[in-house]
Structure formats: structure tokens, C-alpha cells
Structure 1
Amino acid sequence: MEERKRKILSEIDRDREELEELSRKIHDDPELGFEEFHALSYISDVLKKHGYRVEQGYGGLETSFRAEKEGSKPGPTVAFLAEYDALKGVGHGCGHNLIATCSTGAFLGLASVMEDLPGKVCIIGTPAEEGGAGKVKLLKNGAFDDVDFALMMHPSSGGSNLVGRGGRAACSVKVHFTGKGAHSSVPKNGINALSAVIHVFQQIDLMRPTFDPQDNINGIISNGGSAANVIPASADCEFCIRADTMKRIEELIDVIKLCVRNAEQLTGAKADISWGEISAERYPNRPMCQAFKDNMETLGIEMKWPDPKAQYGSSDIGNVSIKIPAIHDYLSITDDKTIQAHTKEYADAAKSEEAQEICLKGAKGLAMTGYDILSSDEFQVEIRRFHEQQIPDFYKEKKS
């Protein structure tokens, strides 16, 4: 192993207690997207303690941040991306306390050898991954305009250590129906907004046989009325849509719009429909993934390439991966296959000693991969060439 890589590992080992404390603090104080003020403070305090200036509110988002360290001469910029929002009612059931800590450790590790490297390393705090599409907003605000390569790690479970795992595009859709309230004994005097919501669900279910294999529409009724003896004057539902591409997401939004219009005609209720930013499908950069895989194997973790037929989740890292070469690889924090993400059981696992150990190894692997990028012009060319070939022409035309 190169001397500079050994120095990176030593720096992260030296910061172990501080990083583990950071992970626990974020875990024990879960905050929803765009409300992560405490997590922002915890991470900023660690970075400031190490002498780095932290720009809070970076990219126009109040709970985002950026810190950086310049190298010995001009060159490309490597960014480690930190997530730290939690899930409503679950806490850190997606392990974002570990993501934030891993990227913080990776930044501190690579920064310790930047005097020997060209370019720049930075850490960017990206709020509201869970449904808020924080990275999409940061992209639109120019927060990644000077970044050349983006790296992050995501925790997984069941011993699943994966590199190069893709992700589907995703979007959330909200529908509000306005009807007319009435006494339930005389329902004809009212317009049942809840019936309109139910009709939307029924129509979506009828259309499922026509969906593509990677299509998924999952919904909840967030407001179905206030009392059983009252015809609801208003009702609300919300859907999470996933598909292979952003283009297909737009088509599925049109499906929901059609179902809503039909429900209006059937019931007489009037609808308002809205949707959030679309998180794009993911394009993992294979050369960067291979470098991370190789580095993790030196740390005793064997990583595998994913099953291309499997159905995977979504993340706003996809939008970043279209703009610049990026990786978002997975390290398992528990061998228990019954513990699934987005559950309280996973939130418990994200605080375990095993999870903290994996988090620190992930930080080392990311930092060493960042070093591989900055230390080799040839590797940078290989990465950029792959990215150029990988991204569909549709997105290139859209950017131009």
C-alpha cells in the first residue's frame, strides 16, 4: 500500500472516537428533510475543530453545507456527499447518520494528504434525500458546477456489499380532493371526497397489468375525513412512483392524472394535483466502483456487482450521476437478512458497534478512492470516458 494511503488510514483511525460520537449524535437526534439543523451543527463542529471553514446554507438550502481543502496545485475537485435526514416515525431507518459520518471521515482522511496532490477535496452536505430531492435542488442552484467527481457510501443489510448498484427514478405525487360535506344519513346531499380518493386507487390497481416490470406506484390516504358519520368534504392521498427512467416517471404521472380526472367525473369532487422533483435513475461510474471495490478488499471487505434484474430503490444521487461521474456503493451493517431498510429495526442496527466499524471502513475506502482519482491523470481520463459513453444522449441534449 502506498505511503499516502497509509497516512489516510492513520488519520481516520486517529479520528475514530470523534466520528463514532458524531454518528451517535445524529442517530439519537433524528430530523426530517430540510429541518436537519442539529445534524448540520454536529457535522460543522467536527469540521471546524479540524480547522476547516464551513459554509452553511450552501447552494441555497438552509441545512446544506460545504467545506474544502485545496491541494498543491490546480486540478479536479472530488466531493464526498453527506446525507443526514431521517424518516418520519422511524428515525434513522436508512442509516443516514452513517452516511454523514462516513463522508466526514473520508473528507478528513483525504484532506490530510492534499499537500501532495493537485486539485481539491470537499464535503457537501445534501439535505432531504428522503423525498425532498435535496441534491436535485442543489444541482439546479449550481452547487455541483465546480465538482468533477462525487462519492458516497450507503449502508445496506443481509451481508449485501455491492458496487455499481443502480437505482430507479422516483417522484412523489400528492392529490387533494374537495367535495361537499353532509350528514352521513343523507349522503346524496354531499360530494364524498374520500370516494374520489378510493376511485383513484382502484383505477391504478386496474392498470397495474399494463405497467413495465420496473414500474411501481405505492400510495397512502393521508386524510380520509374526520368522523364516520360525516361525508368527507376533503380528502388527500399521496403516491411514490418509481420507474426505469425520468421519462417513464413523467408517463406514470400522466397515468395518475388520468385516474384523478376520471375520479372527478365519477364523484363530482374537484382535485388539485402536485408533484415534487424527480429523482433520476442512477448511472454508477464503473471505473470508480472498481477502485472502491479494490480499496475495500484491502480493508477485508469483499464487494460484489449487483444482480441486473433486481428491483432497487431510488435516490437523488441519480441526478448527480448524470451531470458528473459518481458512485453510491453499499456496505452491509448487519448480516441479518430480516432487517430491512426504512424500519425501526434498521434504525436500531444503524447505531450498533458493527455499523460504526463498517462506517469507518467505508470512510477509508472512499478516501482512498478519492486519492486514486486525484493522483492519476490517466484514471481521470478513463472515468470521464466511461461517463461520456454511459449517459444517454437524451440527457446530453437536455444539458446543452
Structure 2
Amino acid sequence: MKEAIFESIEEIRAEILELSKNIHENPELAFDEYKSAGFIKALLQKHGFSIEDKSGGMDTAFKARFKGNGPGVTVAFLAEYDALPGMGHACGHNLIAAASTGAAIGLSKLMKDIPGEIVLMGTPGEEGKGGKIILLDKGEFDDIDYSLMTHPSTVNLINRGGLATTAVTISYTGKAAHSAAPESGINALQAVIQTFNLLDSIRARMPLKTNINGIILKGGEATNIIPGYAECAFSVRAATFGDLKKVVDMIKDTVKAVELFTGATAAVETDLVYSERYSNLAIDEVFKKYMELQGEVVEYPDPNAKIGSSDIGNVSLKMPAIHAYIKIAEKGVVAHNKSFAEAAITDRAQEAGIKAAKALAATAYEILTDENLRKEIKDEFDRTVPVYADMSL
């Protein structure tokens, strides 16, 4: 069956590579990925998938379905296709979309002999907009049992986690006054500055692996006017959602102290929560096997390495999921950088996308057909993934 799956994907190689190229040449920002979503849907429709448009109420989200020969589980391949402002596909989402789409089409050619269903999920807005979180909240993952995807990198890697993260915006309203009579005003900018100072002073109390970075968004209009309004924003990361909530609560307490100290009135807003990620090792090992059969070396993560965040983390709380990494360039080429955008369309990267498509499709086949593997996957999921009753901050 491996040979049949690999051959099926080889037969559509040119279409997969063209899809990657088209998405890369037409970078679109979160929730505006009309061309990219269109490229993917057109190819899937050509190969017999039924399309459900505007998943979760988002114009550029969709689900493409292909049913097997009878009842069974449903495996989703997740496609991302949003770009970064001013940098194009500097995270290589063209390859994510191409690999997942190629895997779905390749496996679909054999579904007449396989029970269950495969789904290609178009998940827009990963870069800061939490498209998968919205899809989860809208119930779009309720009929999915397993979710698989890959991500470009400078190393082939499985079972890497991710940090929980959110954004916190704080605005302070004081009272404007002329700088000749500062005592008649309430300095909102001073409140922002004290927020930074106090957060720096309590970093030692924060949970391990916490990371806070902030900027001042608004700090006044003129040097001779005491600012009556100021605003700042912070990116907050932590090892788990539980830790993230503790840190956000500490920020809110800090703001209360600043209000008492300065007399300014604050408003605090939190963004969507990207949870930590639990990549299912039982599935990852199958993916690793099929990448290594294609001559790749696949590594395990360094527990001390710095890691980022992605909305696939929220999916991994709901069901077994993987977010494997595929090597498209040598170390030193950094994601979220123009050099990575250039690397994401090289022949080397395109070939990595083809190999990832084959490994994803073969992994999905094993999940669809091997009950013992499904039990192993479920046992790991039940043992390692926490249940959060409430994900609000």
C-alpha cells in the first residue's frame, strides 16, 4: 500500500508543485487569502472532493471531503496559506497547503478500498488571527477524529511542543494638561511606563518559560502636553494555558496597582488564546517512518530549545494531532524572515513538500485501517493531554 500511495502522489506531482508556486507568488494576509483558497479548492474539486465553503463563517475557510467505502474514522489534513505582512510566505505556508492537499488527493485515489473519510481543512489566519480556534469554537472540528499537518523548518522533527500565548492590550485614560501645570493633569503615559517597570520587577515570580514582550502604541501628541491617553500591548507566552492564565492575572493586578499609583483609569483587553501543543507521538512515529523510507533523517526535539506558538495547539487539546517539521533549508535560515520566504520556493523545498505529502498520506492510511494504532493513539492522548474546563482569561 505504501508503494500505491507514493505512486498516487507522484502522478499529481506537477499539480502539487504548481499549487505551492501559485500560493507563494500570491501572498495574502490573514483572512484575505481568497486566491490561495481558490487555488486549493479548484484542485480538490478537479479530483472529486466535495467542498463546504465558508467554514466557521470565514470567507477563506473551507472543508473538502472524500468518503471511503464504508463507515470509519475521519482524518483531516490541515492546510495553512496566509502570508506575513511585508515578507510574503516567510513561514512557508505555501508548502503546508501543498503537502496537505497533495496527501489528501493522493490518498483519495485509494479510498474505494478504505473505510472512513478524509478531509482537507482550509484553515486561514494562523499568523495571529487564530483561524483554527475560530473553527473549533464554531464546531467545525466536531466531526474530525485526527488532524495532521507539517511545517517547513531547517530540520526534520517530530513531537515538538509549542507554548501557550495571547496578546494583552492596556489603555490608560488620564487627564491632559499643559506641561507648565502638570499638577492639574493625570499622566497616562507615566501609567504605561510604570506598567513596564512593574512587570519587569515581578518577572522572577512568573512561571518558568514565561516570556513577555511589549510596545507602546500611543504615548501622547505633543511634548508640552501631559498625555491624557496612552496605550501599550504585550505578547505573553507560557508553557501551558494554566501558566498563561496566571501571568495574565498578574498583569491585571499590576494594572490595578498602576491605577492607584498614577490616578489613571485602565482598560485591559486580551486576544484569542493559542494553547500549548501536544503532538501525538504515536502518530508522529508513523510519519517519521515514512519520511525515513524516503531517505530523510528525522530527529526528536531538544527539550531546551526555544519554541513558538501556533493555533494547532488548540486542535491538539481536542483530538490527537501532529505538527511535524520538514527540512527545506540549512540552519541559519530563520522563519519569519525574507530569507525563509526565498527558501520556501526552492527545488529543495518543493521536494520536501512532496515527501511530506507522501508521509502524511501513508500515516493517514494507517490510522484509517489499523485499530491497534488507533488504540495506541487514544491511550497516549488520554494520558498526556489536559482538559481545561474554561479557556477564558
Instruction: State if a TM-score over 0.5 links the two structures.
Output: yes
Aligned-pair distance for 1:226? 4.0
Question: SS where residue 274 of structure 1 aligns?
Answer: strand
Inter-partner Cα distance in structure 1 for 2:223 and 2:42 = 51
Aligned-pair distance for 1:216? 0.9
What does 1:234-273 correspond to in 2, within 5 Å? 234-273=229-268
Inter-partner Cα distance in structure 2 for 1:342 and 1:234 = 33
- Whether 2:344 is the aligned partner of 1:350: answer yes
Correspondence for 1:51:
48
Does structure 1 conserve the Cα–Cα contact (< 8 Å) formed by 2:206 and 2:247?
no
Runs of 4+ with deviation above 6 angstroms: none
Aligned-pair distance for 1:5? 2.4
Inter-partner Cα distance in structure 2 for 1:82 and 1:130 = 13
Inter-partner Cα distance in structure 2 for 1:390 and 1:80 = 22
Aligned-pair distance for 1:192? 2.9
Correspondence for 1:93:
90
Inter-partner Cα distance in structure 2 for 1:12 and 1:309 = 36
- Whether 2:69 is the aligned partner of 1:72: answer yes
- Whether 2:115 is the aligned partner of 1:118: answer yes
Q: Per-residue CA shift, 1:303-357, capped at 9, x if unaligned?
A: 111122333111111121121111101112111x222122222222222222212
Identity %: 47
Aligned-pair distance for 1:292? 0.3
Inter-partner Cα distance in structure 2 for 1:24 and 1:302 = 26
Aligned-pair distance for 1:298? 0.7
Q: Return closer, same or farther for 1:357/1:189 CA change in 2, 3 Å cut-off.
A: farther
Does structure 1 conserve the Cα–Cα contact (< 8 Å) formed by 2:66 and 2:119?
yes
- Whether 2:379 is the aligned partner of 1:373: answer no
Does structure 2 conserve the Cα–Cα contact (< 8 Å) formed by 1:106 and 1:366?
yes
Does structure 1 conserve the Cα–Cα contact (< 8 Å) formed by 2:63 and 2:120?
yes
Whichever residue aligns with residue 338 of structure 1, its letter is: G
Correspondence for 1:277:
272
Inter-partner Cα distance in structure 1 for 2:284 and 2:252 = 39
Q: Which of 159, 172, 188 is equivalent to 1:193? A: 188
Correspondence for 2:103:
106
Correspondence for 1:204:
199
Correspondence for 2:125:
128
Does structure 1 conserve the Cα–Cα contact (< 8 Å) formed by 2:12 and 2:106?
no
Deviates more, 1:82-91 or 1:225-234: 225-234
Q: Which of 209, 215, 224 is equivalent to 1:220? A: 215
Aligned-pair distance for 1:189? 4.3
Q: Return closer, same or farther for 1:73/1:91 CA change in 2, 3 Å cut-off.
A: same
Correspondence for 1:16:
13
Inter-partner Cα distance in structure 1 for 2:85 and 2:171 = 21
Question: SS where residue 98 of structure 1 aligns?
Answer: helix
TM-score by length of 2: 0.93
What does 1:291-330 correspond to in 2, within 5 Å? 291-330=286-325
Q: Return closer, same or farther for 1:232/1:349 CA change in 2, 3 Å cut-off.
A: farther
Q: Which of 7, 16, 26 is equivalent to 2:4? A: 7
- Whether 2:143 is the aligned partner of 1:146: answer yes
Q: Return closer, same or farther for 1:229/1:356 CA change in 2, 3 Å cut-off.
A: farther
Does structure 2 conserve the Cα–Cα contact (< 8 Å) formed by 1:7 and 1:112?
no
Unaligned runs of 5+ in 2: none
Whichever residue aligns with residue 52 of structure 2, its letter is: E
Q: Return closer, same or farther for 1:25/1:235 CA change in 2, 3 Å cut-off.
A: farther
Does structure 1 conserve the Cα–Cα contact (< 8 Å) formed by 2:280 and 2:322?
yes
- Whether 2:335 is the aligned partner of 1:341: answer yes
Correspondence for 2:283:
288
Q: How many residues align?
A: 391
Q: Which of 173, 181, 193 is equivalent to 1:178? A: 173
Aligned-pair distance for 1:184? 4.5
Inter-partner Cα distance in structure 1 for 2:390 and 2:266 = 32
Inter-partner Cα distance in structure 2 for 1:167 and 1:139 = 18
Inter-partner Cα distance in structure 2 for 1:31 and 1:231 = 41
Inter-partner Cα distance in structure 1 for 2:269 and 2:152 = 31
Inter-partner Cα distance in structure 1 for 2:54 and 2:11 = 29
Whichever residue aligns with residue 344 of structure 1, its letter is: K
Inter-partner Cα distance in structure 1 for 2:45 and 2:297 = 34
Does structure 2 conserve the Cα–Cα contact (< 8 Å) formed by 1:340 and 1:346?
yes
Aligned-pair distance for 1:156? 1.1
TM-score by length of 1: 0.92
Whichever residue aligns with residue 53 of structure 2, its letter is: Q
Inter-partner Cα distance in structure 2 for 1:386 and 1:216 = 29
Question: SS where residue 118 of structure 1 aligns?
Answer: coil
- Whether 2:385 is the aligned partner of 1:391: answer yes
Q: Per-residue CA shift, 1:200-224, capped at 9, x if unaligned?
A: 1111111122223311111122233
Inter-partner Cα distance in structure 1 for 2:223 and 2:370 = 67
Aligned-pair distance for 1:260? 1.7
Deviates more, 1:234-243 or 1:30-39: 30-39
